[in-house]
Structure formats: structure tokens, C-alpha cells
Amino acid sequence: MSKQRAQSITVPVMGEGIRNAKIVSLLKKPGDAIALDDPLCEVETDKAVYPIESSFAGVMGEWKTKIGETVEIGQELGTILSGDASFADQFQATAKTSPDGKQTPVEAAVPAVEPPDRARHARQYGIEPALSPTITRKLSHVIPANLQIDARWDAIRTARDAAKKENGMNAPSPSVMIAWTVVRAMEKHAPFRRLILEDDRGVAVALQGDRLATAVIADANKKRWPEFVKIYNETIDATRGGRVDAMNAPVVITSLGAFGVKAGAPIVVPPSVGTLFVGTAHRELIPNGKNNETAEVVTLSLTFDHRVVNGAGAANFVHEVKEQIERFKIPTTRAVSA
């Protein structure tokens, strides 16, 4: 009879920028039989609730965490008592010997939900996967479609210049102005707010080291302009500082405008309905009857899940965002939806 080994259950990589998650359920008790790929527990991030599955068959050992606890990527959550050697142990045992007779060192840490070939490839080449297997599986169910439209930038430029004269460094950014227009469009298009309670909206935030996180503004449509700007800035700063908002957003806004990217085709990860990419402001030739003119525009690129929204509905939504941008003025005492 083989000797039982305690195999670690660890928090896997779950996507760019996700550094921690919240334990929402423990699905196995000590002593429970565990089969390969059995769900062991569930964790919640700003994107979704993900199951952590077993890479071993055996018996549940102990939990080293509890429901409600925030855990870090790579943290040990518990153990599984397995009669078989782990993939890491097998890989270590078969490590090749170099010509000088010294054993080639091999790192033996294997995330609990990563397939062996993926884990080995990541260790060998020092590559951290951008997306976890769970997110990749979610993407396999999406029917993505993308459409693009240009919006004139004049109104945002004018509003921004006026705000800078009045508020200086504290002036609202073009990003928060865009976010406000998207919320207004969501109010008029139910398919783009149907997946979670009310009108939460997410903003993709770039972090150091080519990482990404999503800042979620809850009940965005209920906030007046000053409160919206304040919470927007606080949420972005907190997310850059490492906070994870354990909720989902039907629409995520992202941009690489700071890098001069005019257009892109973002991905949409369930349960989100769509991801809106906002390009950098640039000049384009605009048809104007017989006389064409150039104007400063931004390209709005919307990727949406065709299972939830059809093409006409998506076109109406992004056209509404365009109109909101082109007639934007900083709100004064505007009452928002209750």
C-alpha cells in the first residue's frame, strides 16, 4: 500500500491583475473522498465566482482557510491526502542530469488547478499565464461580436479645458466623463445592465508589471456628478493599490489611449455582457455633404456576447454612447435615476 502524501491546495492564477480573492464556500469536509477535477471550494474576484478544482484523487485533509477570508494568489488553502506522487514530485524525480553530473534544479510548486503540461511550460520558460483555465473555459462559451464607431471629441475637450481652468489639477478627467456617458447609455438599454443587480459598471485599470484589474462602481446610475467623480477616483486608486471588488459588472470600460492606441477588439468575459474599448483621440476625415472636414474623434470598439445581445441592440447602445459623448457637458444639479 502506497504511503499517503499531503498535497497542497493553492489559489491559482485567475487572470491579469488579480492578486487576491475571497473564499465564498468550502465544498469538501475533512475525510471526504476526492476525485480528480472535483470542485473543492469557490473564490470570488472582481470578475466572477470561480471553483478551485482538485489536481489529485484522494481524501480531503485539512482546510487552512475559512469562508469570508481574503486569500492571495499562490496561498495554501488546505491539503489533500493522496496515495500517488504529485506531478511535481514525478517531475522532480525524472529531472535530467547535466553532463557535469549535477542534477538540473526543477521548481516543484504546481498550482492545484493547472494542467501539468501548462504548469511545466510556465516554470520552464518563466511565463505566467495571462488567463486562468477557468476564465479560458468561460470564454469558450462566449459568442463574441465586435463593432466600432467614431465619436467626435469636441465636447469632452471643451468640458475638460473648462474644468481645468476652474479646478486645476483636481479637474475631472476625460475617463470619468466617458464613464458617465456610458452609465447614461446603460440607463436606456436594459440588455447592458441585466446580468447583475442594478447598474454597476466596471473600469479596467492598468497596474504595474503589465497587469490589469477591474474597478467596480456600484449603483453608478444613482449618483450625482460630484459623488460619481469622487467615488470613481477613489475606486480607481484603491484598485491600483491592490483592492479586489468581489462583484461583477455587465459593462467594462478599457482603454490604451495613453499608449496612442486608436482602436482595439477587447474580449468579454462572462458574466459581463460587453467590454467597451475607448481609443486615443485623433483626427479623422469626416463626411459632410460635398465638403469633407477633419475632426478630433475617438473610436469606440464594443465587444459583446451575442448570446445575450443581438447586433442591432449593440449598435443602438454604442450609438447612444457616441451621442452622449458628443453632447457632453459637466452636470450641475442633474438628478439621476432613483
Domain boundaries defined on the chain: 5-136, 141-326
pLDDT on residue 30:
93
- For 258-309, the pLDDT digits (tens) are 788 999 998 887 778 899 999 999 998 887 777 778 999 999 999 998 888 8
Write down the architecture of domain 5-136 according to CATH: Beta Barrel (2.40)
Among candidate residues 14, 325, 48, 97, the one with its CA nearest the CA of residue 202: 48
pLDDT lower than 50: segments of the chain: 1, 85-121, 123, 196-213, 246, 334-338
Among candidate residues 272, 241, 271, 242, the one with its CA nearest the CA of residue 254: 272
Other CB atoms within 10 A of residue 80 CB: 26
SS3 293: strand
pLDDT on residue 29:
93
pLDDT on residue 17:
64
Q: How far, CA to CA in Å, does 37 sit from each of 52, 103, 112, 175, 323?
A: 9, 32, 10, 42, 48
C-alpha cell at 203: 473600469
pLDDT on residue 47:
64
Give the whole-angstrom CA distance, residue 49 versus residue 51. Answer: 7
In CATH terms, the fold of domain 141-326 is: Chloramphenicol Acetyltransferase (3.30.559)
Report which residue type is found at 36.
Answer: L
* Beta bridge pairs of residue 21: 71
pTM for the structure as a whole: 0.56
pLDDT on residue 207:
36
| Residues 6+ away with beta carbon under 8 Å from 303 | 144, 145, 146, 265, 266, 267, 268, 274, 275, 277
